[in-house]
Structure 1
Amino acid sequence: MIDRDALQGHLQQLLEADRFKDYGPNGLQVEGKREIHKVVTGVTASLALIDAAIAAGADAIVVHHGLFWRGQDGRVTGWMKQRLAQLIRHDINLFAYHLPLDAHATLGNNAQWGQQLGLVADARFGDQDLGFIGPVPDGLDLPRLSELVKRKLGRAPVVVPGDGRPLKRAAWCSGGAQGYFEGAIAAGVDVFLTGEISEPQAHYARETGVAFLACGHHASERYGVQAVGRHLEVNLGLQHAFLDIDNPA
């Protein structure tokens, strides 16, 4: 068991949350019960995840995508009312960490996703150093990398192959980081992996020769919260369960 405020302090320090300029509040977003025994982790604070956490007997939920984002109008209606009502009715704490969970050097989405693919960063790039860069393992060409992504993430990536050059250096940034592609190209990599693709990236890949893989926003961001949950289990003695609510995005 841990006190809610102690857990909040531990997560804030662990993920260095206060150093990030983010799109929404990091930390405790919805206050629940004081004593926490079991934590459920998941990618997004959807109603499906909240309901599953209730069924699992969670005292707290830790997610990457929380409830509150810059630009919302603030009205508690529709889907927002449903999610908040369930959390409050069952006295469950909701913690959310967005960019801090992407960036952490060992527990973050990019570090953990890279680990799944055998990629280890030796450099950073992009806004707030969110993007990772590192060497491509020997023998991992684009077809093998695409197949590895499919096997590890459970979905085939969208691939724009570039000019077919050997893959020596890779850049990656989980989620909706397609806008980082230009920075990755400027950094001299041979392939860039992220979650999503927008219209311009196909042209950039064809014109620069740098391969682009869109591997799924949700699919590429499942690993950081799991690592944080395992950390809480090992270091604080909390019960932990990761619940994966499937999302085709």
Structure 2
Amino acid sequence: MVERTRLVAYCNTLLESHAFQDYCPNGLQVEGASQVQRLVTGVTASQALVDAAVKAGAQMLLVHHGYFWKGEPAVITGIKQRRLKTLLGNDMNLLAYHLPLDVHAELGNNIQLAKLFGWTVLGGLEPDNPRSVGLYGELPEAIGGTTLAGQLAVALQREPLHIAGNDRPIKRIAWCTGAAQDYIERAIALGVDAYITGEVSEPTVHAARENGIHFFAAGHHATERYGVKALGEHLAAQFGIEHQFIDIDNPV
């Protein structure tokens, strides 16, 4: 058992949440029980995940995609009302970290994706930013685009969209989990063979083809399972609490 305030303060410090100007509030978004024994983690605080956390008997739900995004309606109606009603009715805390969980050097989504595949990290996709959202590096060995697409499909359990900008083998890559298709221009500037992210936009295809770079859209949800899971495991070990990662699948 750990006090909510102690756990939240630890996460805020660990992830340096104060250092980010984000699209949503990072940290405690909904206050619940003052003591936490069971923690559930997941990618997005959808109704399905909230319900699963209630069923699991959690006092805290920790996610990458929480609530209160910039530009969304401020009124508490519809799905927002139902989600908050479930959380508040079950005295459950909601803790969310967006950009801080993308970039963390040990537990972040991007470094965890690299660990999953055994990629070597050489630096940030934004070379002048010490908290670069994306990374670049190298594969263990040079492989074809079809082979890399197959590796992504097996590990992430989702067939990626592959745009083959050329037929050369891939060794040097850049990646950024989630919806970072616009960062392909940064990848091109670094001279990598391939760029991997979660989603794709119509202009991304032309950018890949006309710049001769492989592009992979491997799934927003699929590429961002690993940071929040790693954070949950870390907190369980740090505070001696129970942890369960619950994956509510999303094809996007």
User: Normalised by the size of structure 1, how large is the TM-score?
Assistant: 0.98
CA contact (8 A) 2:103 2:132 kept: yes
Residue of structure 1 in register with 2:212 after alignment: 209
CA contact (8 A) 1:111 1:120 kept: no
Q: How many residues of Structure 1 are paired with residues of Structure 2 in the alignment?
A: 249
**Counterparts of 1:181 and 1:223 in 2: how far apart (Å)?**
22
**Counterparts of 1:156 and 1:216 in 2: how far apart (Å)?**
9
Q: Deviations over 1:201-240 (max 9, x none)?
A: 1101111111000000001100001100110111111100
1:59 and 2:59 correspond: yes
Query: Secondary structure of 1:53's match?
Result: helix
Query: Secondary structure of 1:32's match?
Result: coil
Q: Deviations over 1:43-97 (max 9, x none)?
A: 0000100000000000001000001100112100000000000000000000000
Identity, % of aligned pairs? Answer: 49
CA distance 1:93–1:108, shift in 2 (3 Å)? same
**Counterparts of 1:56 and 1:201 in 2: how far apart (Å)?**
41
Unaligned runs of 5+ residues in structure 2 are none
4+ long deviations beyond 6 Å: none
Residue of structure 2 in register with 1:140 after alignment: 143
Query: Secondary structure of 2:62's match?
Result: strand
Residue of structure 1 in register with 2:21 after alignment: 21
1:232 and 2:239 correspond: no
Match of 1:181 among 170, 180, 184: 184
**Counterparts of 1:183 and 1:108 in 2: how far apart (Å)?**
20
CA contact (8 A) 1:178 1:198 kept: yes
Residue of structure 1 in register with 2:71 after alignment: 71
Residue of structure 2 in register with 1:84 after alignment: 84
Unaligned runs of 5+ residues in structure 1 are none
**Counterparts of 1:113 and 1:209 in 2: how far apart (Å)?**
24
Q: Structure 1 residue 27: deviation in Å?
A: 0.1
Could you tell which deviates more after superposition, 222-231 or 130-139?
Answer: 130-139
User: Normalised by the size of structure 2, how large is the TM-score?
Assistant: 0.97
Residue of structure 2 in register with 1:8 after alignment: 8
CA contact (8 A) 1:38 1:59 kept: yes
CA contact (8 A) 1:2 1:37 kept: yes
**Counterparts of 2:144 and 2:231 in 1: how far apart (Å)?**
31
**Counterparts of 1:196 and 1:117 in 2: how far apart (Å)?**
19
1:157 and 2:160 correspond: yes
